[in-house]
């Protein structure tokens, strides 16, 4: 996985699937008595869910993606988010004046402690041979501190659930070593890109009146309030009525695009503030043990090329450059940086340009023709090499590609899936590829369908 990500030759394409831990897995649904944010904010649960696909597809899967969400960032900036199960905001940005109320400098080690601890626990559980006991997270702080705990105290007071609320079998399996997997695959950390987060913060679904949120939910959705962890028993967040439907769901992005075109300065201020937080967040994930960092510009599809170039691309590039500047080059063991910019066909060449883009892997959505992407990425590398800049000669190698089977292909028969996989592989030819889907797994998928895809990739030797 890491060698393919660096653009090196490997015997077969390595593989993982976006949203590989999720509702299509019965073992994931078995943990749904815990709310989504409870699972995300409790390292033992997040690590276990992250590892579920690795246990199931142990002979196939080459990486795990940490169980979390791109929408953990707005709460750290002061906009609470609930999941029911789709994201709903406690408050949206309405006008540029609202920017002054945001927290532009969250302490990522404090606000995202749960994520960083989930990453390091996942890494230890994945790599340790079966039978090796692994202690639970933050063992030294065994209790949940309620409101008023000293600022910055590390440990379980930063998590949503006390250890006593965890499934006893999970703790027993960690203690006995039964939970250790013995397959040291890379851990993928991630974040949402600036434009995608901005569009959610303006056009997201608005939660019903705040009193509809349970106390535990409200406390944890806004961790800065300091009451997180006050609840002892798992509170579930299922089944509330949807509030006002936001426009991300409508796919018009009318309010957030109005900001771009009517308030360009305020938009750039917001985007650049988010981008700075993302750099801190990704560097922290790398330091916690994530080997690959993927940036999701899922709502890139909302913007026409010229506007994507103006409002999305600069921040995508800035995040990668910022992370690279604070870590190491990929050739010296630094993080593999990956970008998934959905619908950003027109900017593929810019993302692939070694002179300006620090990404190593360009992740393609399912609407991109593989052979066309290979051409664009190779041309971008050749052009940069010909220009003779220092950056270009350092990275004359074309960037790796990732993708891009239409997730809905997994609704086909086993034969149909294998044939679609072969068509895709033929399109990528011998270009360095990380096999993936062109968007995430869907709740209606059968686990056997993903196995059929993985089998077809596994059978493919260069
Ligand atoms: O890929 C993985 O397995 C890791 C986990 C992961 C989740 N969300 C878990 C999740 C990742 C990488 C994400 C990223 C994410 N989240 C994106 C970008 C990728 C993409 O899909 O385009 C976006 C746009 C979000 C925002 C988000 N989170 C939405 C729109 C929803 C509701 C839709 C849905 O799928 O339910 C979520 C909730 C969410 N995030 C779930 C999961 C497993 C489902 C909630 C649940 O299981 O209770």
CB of 458 within 8 A of CB of 422? Answer: no
Is 32 catalytic? The answer is yes
Nearest atom in ligand 1 to 20's CA: 3
Q: What is the largest CA-CA distance in the chain?
A: 62
Residue-wise pLDDT tens digits, 102-116: 999 999 999 999 999
Is 23 catalytic? The answer is yes
| Encoded tokens for 94 | 């309405």
Distance between CA 67 and CA 18 in Å, rounded?
Answer: 11
Read off the pLDDT band of 191 (50, 70, 90). very high
Is 200 catalytic? The answer is yes
Neighbours of 184 (CB within 10 A): 13
Q: Is the CB of 326 under 6 A from ligand 1?
A: no
Distance 298 CA to ligand 1 centre (A): 11
Distance 69 CA to ligand 1 centre (A): 6
Distance between CA 193 and CA 311 in Å, rounded?
Answer: 11
| pLDDT, mean over the chain | 89
State the catalytic residue, choosing from 32, 55, 59, 245.
32
Q: What is the reported pLDDT for 232?
A: 29
Distance between CA 434 and CA 419 in Å, rounded?
Answer: 18
Least confident of 242-246, 383-387, 420-424: 242-246
Q: Is the CB of 28 under 6 A from ligand 1?
A: no
Nearest atom in ligand 1 to 196's CA: 24
Whether this prediction's pTM lies above 0.95 is answered by no
Beta-carbon contacts of 255 under 8 Å, excluding residues fewer than 6 positions away, are 202, 203, 247
DSSP class of residue 150 equals P
CB of 215 within 8 A of CB of 35? Answer: no
Whether the predicted pLDDT of 229 surpasses 60: no
Q: What is the reported pLDDT for 114?
A: 95
Least confident of 28-37, 221-230, 338-347, 434-443: 221-230
Distance 279 CA to ligand 1 centre (A): 21
State the catalytic residue, choosing from 34, 200, 315, 453.
200
Average pLDDT of the residues in 261-268: 98
Is 245 catalytic? The answer is no
Read off the pLDDT band of 391 (50, 70, 90). low
| Encoded tokens for 226 | 């300091």
Q: Is the CB of 69 under 6 A from ligand 1?
A: yes
Average pLDDT of the residues in 110-127: 96
| Encoded tokens for 403 | 């993708």
Q: What is the reported pLDDT for 397?
A: 87
Is 253 catalytic? The answer is no
Distance 19 CA to ligand 1 centre (A): 7
Distance between CA 380 and CA 355 in Å, rounded?
Answer: 9
Q: Is the CB of 296 under 6 A from ligand 1?
A: yes
Helix (H, G, I), strand (E, B) or coil at 339: strand
The dihedral over CA atoms of 441, 447, 451, 452, expressed in degrees to the nearest 10, equals -90
Share of residues in the chain with pLDDT > 70 (%): 85
Whether the predicted pLDDT of 251 surpasses 90: no
CB of 363 within 8 A of CB of 436? Answer: yes
């Amino acid at each position: 996985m890491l060698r393919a990500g660096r653009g090196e030759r490997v015997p077969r394409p390595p593989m993982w699937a976006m949203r590989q831990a999720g509702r299509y897995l019965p073992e994931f649904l078995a943990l749904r008595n815990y709310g989504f944010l409870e699972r995300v904010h409790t390292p033992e649960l997040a690590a276990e869910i992250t590892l579920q696909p690795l246990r199931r597809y142990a002979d196939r899967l080459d990486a795990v993606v940490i169980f979390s969400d791109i929408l953990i960032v707005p709460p750290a900036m002061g906009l609470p988010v609930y999941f029911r199960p789709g994201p709903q905001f406690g408050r949206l940005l309405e006008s540029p004046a609202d920017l002054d109320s945001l927290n532009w400098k969250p302490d990522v080690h404090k606000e995202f402690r749960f994520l960083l601890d989930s990453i390091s626990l996942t890494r230890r559980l994945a790599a340790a041979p079966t039978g090796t006991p692994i202690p639970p997270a933050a063992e030294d702080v065994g209790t949940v501190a309620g409101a008023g705990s000293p600022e910055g105290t590390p440990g379980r007071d930063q998590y949503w659930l006390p250890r006593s609320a965890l499934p006893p079998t999970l703790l027993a399996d960690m203690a006995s070593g039964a939970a250790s997997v013995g397959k040291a695959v890379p851990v993928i950390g991630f974040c949402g890109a600036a434009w995608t987060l901005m569009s959610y913060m303006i056009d997201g679904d608005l939660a019903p009146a705040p009193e509809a949120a349970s106390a535990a939910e409200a406390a944890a959705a806004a961790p800065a309030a300091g009451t997180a962890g006050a609840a002892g028993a798992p509170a579930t967040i299922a089944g509330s009525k949807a509030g006002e439907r936001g426009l991300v769901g409508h796919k018009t992005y009318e309010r957030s695009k109005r900001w771009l075109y009517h308030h360009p300065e305020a938009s750039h201020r917001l985007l650049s503030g988010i981008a700075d937080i993302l750099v801190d967040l990704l560097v922290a994930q790398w330091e916690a043990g994530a080997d690959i960092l993927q940036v999701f510009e899922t709502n890139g599809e909302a913007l026409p090329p010229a506007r994507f170039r103006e409002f999305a691309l600069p921040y995508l590039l800035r995040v990668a450059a910022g992370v690279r500047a604070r870590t190491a080059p990929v050739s010296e063991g630094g993080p593999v940086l990956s970008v998934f910019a959905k619908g950003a066909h027109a900017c593929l060449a810019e993302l692939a340009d070694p002179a300006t883009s620090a990404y190593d892997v360009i992740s393609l959505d399912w609407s991109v023709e593989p052979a066309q992407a290979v051409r664009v990425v190779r041309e971008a590398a050749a052009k940069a090499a010909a220009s003779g800049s220092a950056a270009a000669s350092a990275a004359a190698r074309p960037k790796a590609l990732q993708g891009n089977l239409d997730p809905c292909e997994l609704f086909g028969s086993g034969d149909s899936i294998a044939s679609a996989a072969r068509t895709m592989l033929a399109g990528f030819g011998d270009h360095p590829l990380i096999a993936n889907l062109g968007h995430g797994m869907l709740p209606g998928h059968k686990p056997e369908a993903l196995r059929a895809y993985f089998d077809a990739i596994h059978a493919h030797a260069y």
